[in-house]
Structure 1
Amino acid sequence: MPKTHSWRTFAQWGKKWGPIMSVKVLGTPFIIISNPDIADEMLGKTGSLYADRPTVQMALLTGWDRALSGARYNARFREYRKLIGKVIGTKGSMAKFYPVEDFQANMLLKRIFQNPEDPAAAIRKSCILLTAEFAMEQFSDIHRTGAYLVEFFPILKYIPAWFPFTEFKRKAAECIGPCNEMADVPFAYVEEQLGKGEENNSFAADLLKDKGISSEKLTDLKWSAASFYAAGSDTTVSVVYSYLMAAILYPRVQRMAQAEVDSVVGKDRLPSFQDRDSLPYIEALVKELYRWLPIVPLAVPHRAMKDNVFQGYYIPKDSLVFVNVWHFLHDPAVYKDPSSFNPERFLGPDAEPDPIDRGLFGYGRRVCPGAHLARYQNSADVSVWINIVKAVAGIEVSPAVDEKGQAKMPVPETTDGIIVRPIPFECLVKPRSEHLLHVLEEALKDGENVN
């Protein structure tokens, strides 16, 4: 098994052994899918056979088994989906969140301008999000395929921590606190606000208005909210950071995006959701950000719930099914020059496939429950879109320079794990103009009245 960035190795295996292949890892069949049509047929149209997740021992040891993404296909999983559906079950229900999304995107610009030496920190924005970020880094690490011996020998979890080969126990102990904090801290904040009678237009607040909620239901509510919040915040942080990298490596893209926003929106206000249909290049830019450095390159594995035969292949019960989303989005037969960042691939009559249609948000009964939040008129994620369009309108991005005045160009690569983000890099950011700063301050004042 590859030790890092396994999606690249799996893509090579797929070329050699075919779009559906398997390997056995200490007796467990790993089914690796390298074709999006097969993934859609197997996990979408026959999704009830593959709706489960594997039992991850490290998740059990750290408390991450309570999160939606890794939950087994059971009553708790269905309750999570039901709770999320109550609040964001329709596209129309999402409109009430647009004002706060817009305000927070404006706040992102302000934080970046206050800390231009470290825009990455500004993107991560608050102590609550920093808690979520640290917890998600741990989540990504403990879910790495084959990273911890306890996944193959579960009996090891009963051995004392001082015993050889039990480093995983020390790692698990480190993860318990941040895992709990990620769910407890923002939830307690919402409860406190509601207790004071303050207005709160959040996912959790909507559900907490049910006064007869049981303690068990309260736990489900808290963890459905935490799962939704953590995944969404991690997506936005990663994609906005990817934009800064792309703006440095491909300055022409930055100029074209800015020119479109300037021509449609002008320079006396910041773009809003109402401008979305008039900004096709920005739409293409967001799609390319998703495709270029996908956030979940190998997806979370599915588990076969019973023995079955798929297209003549015998799939044993408990097989783990891995979908190589990274390969789907970097297949040179589908995307011309896939390593290059080129939003124009999604424009015109011969546009290349939308990444959202190639497994970006999962498959079957495990598809992202925030589909209505993530899609707007068959477009990309609303939170990502509004942050990207504000960044385009307000920020000039250029490479950092070394002591000799040479540009320090970032490397378009990601961290490892089940959830990834661009590897850290340095850059220079500044407001596009002094006038922009005045426009931003006015927008923030108006936003405070709404929020």
Structure 2
Amino acid sequence: MVQLTPTDFAVASAAIALGACALYSRRNRHALPPGGLVSITVLGQPFIIINDPAIAAEILDKRGNDYADRPTSEMAVLSGWDRVLSSLRYGPRLREYRKLVSQVIGSKNSMAKFHSAEEWQGNMLLKRILSNPSAFRDVGTFCIELRIVMLRPLKAARTTASATILHITYGYKISEEGEDSFVSLVDGAMSQFTEIMRPGAFLVEALPLLKYVPSWFPGAHFKRLAKKYDTACDMMAQTPLDYVQRQMHSGQASNSFVADLLIQPDLSLQEREDIKWSAASLYGAGSDTTVSVVTAYFLAAAKFPHIQAKAQEEMDRVVGLAAPHRAMKDDVYEGYFIPKDSVVIPNVWKFLHDPATYRDPLTFNPERFLGPDPERHPAEVGLFGYGRRICPGIRLADVSVWINIAKLVAGLTITKAKDEHGVPIEPEVGTTDGIICRPAPFTCNVEARSASVLGMVDEALASDPA
């Protein structure tokens, strides 16, 4: 197992403290020395970073029973967020959640009944973007800092992701007029979750004994914050569940994750709790990640117009238009000792940028996955996780992202924004830090590919059954 130099240790420790996005970022991606396994201890906590996909598959897949746990977040426990799937420690409740998710959306056949809702929201994504073209002038125009966030496309992507997950999970259709109460409720709670999971944000994570300090004690603001967030977390899970139960009682419930599970007879209180929290987990897992991927498409399309043009040409021909694990016991891998309770992090960025696997890996070239001799698909290299913690919503994520990006390719042309002198602004490629990596703020110009696009979208929405 590789030992770090003092410089390596300092950089890697800082990256780990900031989270996985920082570990994979451009400024830190070369901080760790080469080697299949790298061990580092930060504040007494051992971290094992896996830099080889074969080792990750051996440890996290084949020995998955021993690495199915998650590190404990004290703030997640204090604020009630330890009840969602991504934060659950390994045990019967986690297995029940995953069984419920697999039962309703775990296969192509089970997902088929939601395809119309996915298609509907894909069309709505275009409509939300194109219905207010004046907003795009704010996206593509010059400002002093040249760091304009893509307000309209980003908001449309976020609204679409929220609407899709709420419809599939609860059978709920959001309001298109103003702010939707359910979206505001759930997004507010998710923002709080992102805050409490931000590495280094709360001292109680490093000093767990602080959780026993009374909330009135000076410096115990985190306890008062956790109580507030616990209430919001409960409302996020309970309010949409109550909506489904009212719809079922009145005979108006549509197909949804929750309705399909609640219809079972003689459910116990614990079974109902499991349904409630597994449903709440779907929103948290699916909304932000979908937005991140769709936003990345806008960045890629603006920065690599020749790739966008090829995708549009192909579309026209066809239609005319990494979470950490926790070691649950001591283990030995090829002579390397992995102590119990080590946080095990597969370095997926490195897997996907390995020159031994991908030719010229730092070049954006999606065509590498096409043709008679394609390079290895990212889904085979940890894209959706490993072992017993692999993403249970793979089918939902795959369909959502595919439909949204296919609609964007077919309906929009995305180009570089221009400054006040008409000079194209080169989008900066970077990521934000946090539990979900997103493209850093950038500018672009977005327009319909033809004047008829919005009319075709309206026609499709009028005929869609969702």
TM-score (norm 1): 0.84
- Secondary structure of the structure 1 residue equivalent to 2:71: coil
Matches within 5 A, 1:6-405: 6-8=23-25, 11-16=29-34, 18-116=35-133, 117=135, 118-125=152-159, 127=180, 128-161=182-215, 166=220, 168-169=222-223, 172-173=226-227, 175-267=229-321, 299-374=322-397, 381-405=398-422
d(CA) in 2 for partners of 1:354, 1:165: 49
Q: Which residue of 2 aligns with 1:270?
A: none
Aligned residues of 1:300 and 1:322 also touching (Cα < 8 A): yes
Aligned residues of 1:10 and 1:324 also touching (Cα < 8 A): no
Could you tell me how far 1:147 is from its partner in structure 2?
Answer: 4.3
Percent identity of equivalent pairs: 54
Aligned residues of 2:414 and 2:445 also touching (Cα < 8 A): yes
Aligned residues of 1:91 and 1:373 also touching (Cα < 8 A): no
d(CA) in 2 for partners of 1:435, 1:263: 18
Q: Deviations over 1:166-216 (max 9, x none)?
A: 454465356334433432343333233323321411111111212422332
* Counterpart AA for 1:95: A
Q: Which residue of 1 aligns with 2:170?
A: none
d(CA) in 1 for partners of 2:184, 2:233: 12
d(CA) in 1 for partners of 2:365, 2:185: 34
d(CA) in 1 for partners of 2:363, 2:244: 43
- Secondary structure of the structure 2 residue equivalent to 1:22: strand
Sort the Cα spacing of 1:154 and 1:425 in 2 relative to 1 into closer, same or farther, 3 A: same
d(CA) in 2 for partners of 1:175, 1:410: 36
Structure 2: gaps of 5 or more residues: 1-12, 136-151, 164-179
d(CA) in 2 for partners of 1:181, 1:337: 48
Matches within 5 A, 1:415-426: 415-426=432-443
d(CA) in 2 for partners of 1:313, 1:228: 37
Query: Which is worse superposed, 339-348 or 23-32?
Result: 339-348
Could you tell me how far 1:11 is from its partner in structure 2?
Answer: 4.2
Could you tell me how far 1:13 is from its partner in structure 2?
Answer: 4.5
Query: Which is worse superposed, 355-364 or 208-217?
Result: 208-217
- Secondary structure of the structure 2 residue equivalent to 1:12: coil
Sort the Cα spacing of 1:424 and 1:86 in 2 relative to 1 into closer, same or farther, 3 A: same
Sort the Cα spacing of 1:170 and 1:216 in 2 relative to 1 into closer, same or farther, 3 A: same
d(CA) in 2 for partners of 1:429, 1:51: 43
Query: Which is worse superposed, 252-261 or 183-192?
Result: 183-192
Aligned residues of 1:141 and 1:418 also touching (Cα < 8 A): no
Q: Which residue of 2 aligns with 1:293?
A: none
Sort the Cα spacing of 1:438 and 1:175 in 2 relative to 1 into closer, same or farther, 3 A: same
d(CA) in 1 for partners of 2:237, 2:281: 8
Query: Which is worse superposed, 424-433 or 333-342?
Result: 333-342
Aligned residues of 1:14 and 1:34 also touching (Cα < 8 A): no
Q: Deviations over 1:86-117 (max 9, x none)?
A: 21243211111111111111111111112342
Sort the Cα spacing of 1:328 and 1:147 in 2 relative to 1 into closer, same or farther, 3 A: farther
Q: Deviations over 1:270-319 (max 9, x none)?
A: xxxxxxxxxxxxxxxxxxxxxxxxxxxxx222111112212211121111
TM-score (norm 2): 0.82
Could you tell me how far 1:156 is from its partner in structure 2?
Answer: 0.9
Aligned residues of 2:325 and 2:344 also touching (Cα < 8 A): yes
- Secondary structure of the structure 2 residue equivalent to 1:322: strand
Query: Which is worse superposed, 111-120 or 155-164?
Result: 155-164
d(CA) in 2 for partners of 1:346, 1:89: 25
* Counterpart AA for 2:204: V
Sort the Cα spacing of 1:234 and 1:255 in 2 relative to 1 into closer, same or farther, 3 A: same
Q: Deviations over 1:5-46 (max 9, x none)?
A: 123477435434x22021112222111111111111001001
Could you tell me how far 1:162 is from its partner in structure 2?
Answer: 6.4
Q: Deviations over 1:309-352 (max 9, x none)?
A: 12211121111111111222233443334343221121123422
Sort the Cα spacing of 1:347 and 1:89 in 2 relative to 1 into closer, same or farther, 3 A: closer
Q: Deviations over 1:347-393 (max 9, x none)?
A: 1234221111111111111111123444xxxxxx1110011101111
d(CA) in 1 for partners of 2:206, 2:79: 17
Aligned residues of 1:83 and 1:221 also touching (Cα < 8 A): yes
Q: CA RMSD in A?
A: 2.3
Query: Which is worse superposed, 99-108 or 118-127?
Result: 118-127
Sort the Cα spacing of 1:177 and 1:422 in 2 relative to 1 into closer, same or farther, 3 A: farther
